[in-house]
Structure 1
Amino acid sequence: MNRAVFTSWADALLGTDRNQRVRMTQALVASGIYAALSVIVGLGVLLGLVEPRPAAALAVTVLGVSAVFLALIRSGANLRFASDPALTQAQGFFCVLAACACYVVAGPFRGAILMTVMIGQVFGIFALTPRQARRMATLGVTALGITMTAGAFWDPVRFPPRIELLNFLLIVLMLPIIGWLTGTLSAIRNKLRQQKVQLENALQQNRLLATQDELTGLSNRRHMTTLLVAERGRQQRNRMPISMVLMDIDHFKRINDGCGHQAGDQVLQIFADVITHGLRTGDALARWGGEEFLLMLPNTTAEDALICVERMRGQLAARSFEHIAPKLTVTFSAGIGVCTVDDRTDAIIERADRAMYRAKTAGRNRTVVA
């Protein structure tokens, strides 16, 4: 069969959502077991071991309810049951009831029907909690015990009490063990799932730490270096200039010493926020070190970069820092270096750095173009 056709057929039957496909597959397997059970009971009818009418009623009921479970999952109605979207408990309860009915109908080979209850317990590994698994095992033992007792009491010829006692003891031995194993495996599975989520979160955190400055949320020096390499590659194609702006907050040491390091951290965060809001798509800002920030402006001439930086200077001047310290104002000095196709990146950053220091020497709170 063509792979595309097979995929289309599988999507039509199981859906496209990964979790729903798993639930639908499990329900289909359960339906297949019920269908096979109905065929076996039907064979018993042909062999004269099972009465036709009860067998037919059982097959119709079992397959009908199984179809209802399939329809609920395929339509997405099962998602309303957030605690058990696979309907595992409901299907498990139904499996117990179906096994009890089949036990009554099956005739001489009813002992083999007990296997279906155990299969239902095993299905619980995928979703049941240990408590739910124990509850399912208790239900199985209780329901089959009542069925066997009623059969031995009302029809001891078809349900010999001694044989029913042995069957019941077998159920008492096996179902609690299977229920315990199911709960244990389910707990292990849930723990592994939680550990996977924790590992993914830790990996995500590590990725952020590798690319992001923890205090300001900006790119760190390493990530900015990567961005510069990528932008230089694009510059080779479009031949447009890249402006590098190195900015340093004026008298930052005085802010730290006079107001405290916590105030200094707040200043850095506000500065990063102000500058970031003035950027275009494609621009990049990084904390280059301490109170220094590197701004990359692709496809930007020195004149346009100067206009951009002065606009940011005005936005920073309009920002109040009174909540940090009375009469506190924050300014910055900036140096601009323009990178052409033939320039080295480190040389341009060095040129911007020298221009920034000229701005500081000239009185701070100004921008110098290299």
Structure 2
Amino acid sequence: MSNAAMTAPPPAFEPRAEAEGDAHARTRRRVWMVECAVIGASYVLNGVLMSLFALGGTVHWSAGVCYGLPGVLLSATCVALIATGASERTSDPSFSKVQAYGNAALTLVGVALFPQLAFAYALSLFILMLTATYRMPKRQLHVMLAVVVLLFAALTFGQGQPLTVPDSTPLERWLSLLFFVVSLGRCVFLSVINTHNNRLLRERGIEMQAKLAEIERLAHHDELTGVLNRRRMMHFLGEELARHDRNGAQVSVALLDLDHFKAVNDTLGHLAGDEVLRRFAAAVQRHARNTDRFGRYGGEEFLVILNDATTDAALQAIERMRAAVATIDWSHLSPELRVTFSAGIATYNGNESVEVLLSRADLGLYEAKRCGRNCSRAL
């Protein structure tokens, strides 16, 4: 019989997990860079449209340059820092806050310098706030909204000019309509992107939940047989002994060891041995009581925690399991193969440790082996 716990192999998933993490980081940076590039293109588009108002004499052509050029430089700087990974060392790795604050500042400066285009800057603020809702925390978003609105109102009313749409000439009316249509189109575009990102986040959340569930399962279950692993069984055994100490509930344990299992590995190979362990564990688990805990203790040795079971009740339960294992057909592995197990049983006496309790069960297992195997003994 074997009392040694299985030696855990080194986790083979670590290099894969590291590679997946690097790929995810690259994808994340690429998304941020695309977002900054789109914002930069938006600055260019707004700047061109604002400069076109110079054709109608509404403002000087420098209005578009003063808005577009700093915005493009800001976006280009953000892209460069994200590409090199420098942004990862900041509290705002996507630079979404930097872009939002920069856009707000350029908009307010534009209103101060070119109040004739206040309506255009107002439309830019709609796009700014819509973009900010994607990344900024709600509290910061509300603060920025309040500050920007107050400053915009102060600049607009403080200069004594109403917020109007340039419409003195047909050209101004067409340009104003064009600016409105382009701004509306970008709002729709951003909404579509937001919907797409939300769907991706939901899908990723579902995938993450599945991975966490799998990690949880692997942490508590034996990978080969699917039953509880030794660590989890020790946790449950400690809980049951504590329950006995509180209310006197009976707790028995049984150590099961497959008879002549080494011969199975030596003659049929380790793959056949693994198949024997899996089918054995499945048969025992099917015939265990609903209140019992069953897991792999180490190698070909398994542990059963029999709750609310006296020694006699535990013996009866283990004998049912032994009879069930004896009926398994192993002919697909070998016509002569017959799998049995020996068991040692011990009932908690209320004043012993987990180690002492399992040692008594191990002595019972040794006695069962000495008596010819394929039997149960209680000590």
Please, what TM-score do these two structures have when normalized by structure 1? 0.55
Equivalent position to 1:278, from 279, 283, 287: 287
| Counterpart contact for 2:241–2:348, Cα < 8 Å | no
| Counterpart contact for 1:335–1:368, Cα < 8 Å | yes
**Residue 307 (str. 1) matches residue 316 (str. 2):** yes
**Residue 365 (str. 1) matches residue 374 (str. 2):** yes
For residues 6-34 of structure 1, what are the alpha-carbon distances to aligned partners after superposition, in whole Å with 9 as ceiling and x for unaligned? xxxxxxxxxxxxxxxxxxxxxxxxxxxxx
Give 1:176 deviation, angstroms.
Answer: 3.3
SS class of match (2:265): helix
1:345 alignment partner AA: V
| Counterpart contact for 1:240–1:340, Cα < 8 Å | no
**In 2: Cα distance, 1:219 partner to 1:242 partner:** 18
1:234 alignment partner AA: R
Give 1:359 deviation, angstroms.
Answer: 1.4
Q: 2:190 aligns to what?
A: 181
SS class of match (1:334): strand
SS class of match (1:333): strand
2:331 alignment partner AA: E
What do you get for the CA RMSD once the two structures are aligned? 3.4
**Residue 288 (str. 1) matches residue 302 (str. 2):** no
**In 2: Cα distance, 1:303 partner to 1:281 partner:** 18
Shift in CA distance, 240/187, structure 1 to aligned 2, threshold 3 Å: closer
Equivalent position to 1:233, from 225, 232, 242: 242
| Counterpart contact for 1:286–1:294, Cα < 8 Å | yes
For residues 272-291 of structure 1, what are the alpha-carbon distances to aligned partners after superposition, in whole Å with 9 as ceiling and x for unaligned? 11111222222111100111
Q: Residues 25-44 of structure 1 correspond to what in structure 2 (within 5 A)?
A: none
What's the % identity of the aligned pairs? 37
SS class of match (1:330): coil
Q: Residues 329-348 of structure 1 correspond to what in structure 2 (within 5 A)?
A: 329-348=338-357
**In 2: Cα distance, 1:327 partner to 1:172 partner:** 83
For residues 256-310 of structure 1, what are the alpha-carbon distances to aligned partners after superposition, in whole Å with 9 as ceiling and x for unaligned? 1222222111111111111112222221111001110000112212122112111
| Counterpart contact for 2:344–2:365, Cα < 8 Å | yes
Q: 1:243 aligns to what?
A: 252
**In 1: Cα distance, 2:351 partner to 2:248 partner:** 10
**Residue 216 (str. 1) matches residue 225 (str. 2):** yes
SS class of match (1:315): helix
For residues 191-245 of structure 1, what are the alpha-carbon distances to aligned partners after superposition, in whole Å with 9 as ceiling and x for unaligned? 3333333332222222111111112111111111111111112112331331110
Q: 2:179 aligns to what?
A: 170
Please, what TM-score do these two structures have when normalized by structure 2? 0.53
| Counterpart contact for 2:288–2:321, Cα < 8 Å | no
Give 1:163 deviation, angstroms.
Answer: 5.8
**In 2: Cα distance, 1:240 partner to 1:194 partner:** 46
1:343 alignment partner AA: E
**In 2: Cα distance, 1:191 partner to 1:304 partner:** 54
Give 1:336 deviation, angstroms.
Answer: 0.8
**In 2: Cα distance, 1:281 partner to 1:359 partner:** 26
| Counterpart contact for 1:246–1:352, Cα < 8 Å | yes
Q: 2:207 aligns to what?
A: 198
**In 1: Cα distance, 2:320 partner to 2:209 partner:** 41
SS class of match (2:374): coil
For residues 85-136 of structure 1, what are the alpha-carbon distances to aligned partners after superposition, in whole Å with 9 as ceiling and x for unaligned? xxxxxxxxxxxxxxxxxxxxxxxxxx9xx99x989x98x98xxxxxxxxxxx
SS class of match (1:328): coil
**Residue 263 (str. 1) matches residue 276 (str. 2):** no
Q: 1:321 aligns to what?
A: 330
2:374 alignment partner AA: N
**In 1: Cα distance, 2:281 partner to 2:175 partner:** 78
- Which protein, 1 or 2, shows the higher relative CO under an 8 Å CA cutoff with sep ≥ 6? 2
Shift in CA distance, 366/185, structure 1 to aligned 2, threshold 3 Å: same
**In 2: Cα distance, 1:280 partner to 1:217 partner:** 18
Give 1:164 deviation, angstroms.
Answer: 5.0
**In 2: Cα distance, 1:217 partner to 1:273 partner:** 9
| Counterpart contact for 2:127–2:186, Cα < 8 Å | no
**Residue 253 (str. 1) matches residue 262 (str. 2):** yes
Give 1:186 deviation, angstroms.
Answer: 3.7
SS class of match (1:254): helix
**In 1: Cα distance, 2:195 partner to 2:320 partner:** 60
**In 2: Cα distance, 1:277 partner to 1:202 partner:** 27
- The alignment covers a number of residue pairs equal to 230
- Poorly superposed stretches of 4+, deviation over 4 Å: 160-164
SS class of match (1:258): helix
Q: 2:91 aligns to what?
A: none
| Counterpart contact for 2:250–2:347, Cα < 8 Å | yes
**In 2: Cα distance, 1:213 partner to 1:251 partner:** 22
| Counterpart contact for 1:241–1:341, Cα < 8 Å | no
| Counterpart contact for 2:293–2:305, Cα < 8 Å | yes
